[in-house]
Amino acid sequence: MPKASSINLFQTKANLPPSFLLWDKYLRTAAYIGMGLLIGGGFIVWGLFVVIGMQRQVLEERRAAATDYIKSNVVKEGMILALRQRIKVVSRIMEQQVSLAPYINTTLLVAQPPKLASFTMGDQGSVNISIRAADGYEAQLYVKTLIDLVGERKVKNPILTSLVVEKDGSYLMSFSYGVIL
Subset of residues 7 to 26 that bind another protein, contact rule: CB under 8 A: 12-14, 16, 20, 23-24
Stretch near another protein under the rule CB under 8 A, chosen from 1-9, 76-84, 140-148, 156-164: 76-84
Out of 2, 5, 17, 121, the residue judged to bind another protein by CB under 8 A = 121
User: DSSP letters of 54-88?
Assistant: HHHHHHHHHHHHHHHHHHTTHHHHHHHHHHHHHHH
Out of 1, 8, 19, 35, the residue judged to bind another protein by CB under 8 A = 35
Q: Are strands 171-179 and 126-133 parallel, antiparallel or unpaired?
A: antiparallel
67 binds another protein (CB under 8 A): yes
Give me the least distance between CB of 98 and another protein, in Å please.
7
144 binds another protein (CB under 8 A): no
136 binds another protein (CB under 8 A): no
81 binds another protein (CB under 8 A): yes
Cβ atoms of 121 and 127 within 8 Å: the answer is yes
Nearer to another protein, 97 or 157 (CB): 97
For another protein, how many residues bind (rule: CB under 8 A)? 75
Nearer to another protein, 128 or 145 (CB): 128
Helix axis angle, 136-151 relative to 101-110, nearest 10°?
A: 130
Cβ atoms of 30 and 23 within 8 Å: the answer is no
Round to whole Å and give the CA distance between 105 and 84: 37
Nearer to another protein, 41 or 136 (CB): 41
Binding mask 41-60 for another protein (x = CB under 8 A): xx--xx-xx--xx-xx--xx
Q: Which of 106, 102, 111 is nearest to 173 (CA)?
A: 111
Nearer to another protein, 112 or 140 (CB): 112
Half-sphere exposure for 162 (CA within 13 Å, toward CB):
10
∠ CA 151-152-156, rounded to 5°: 65
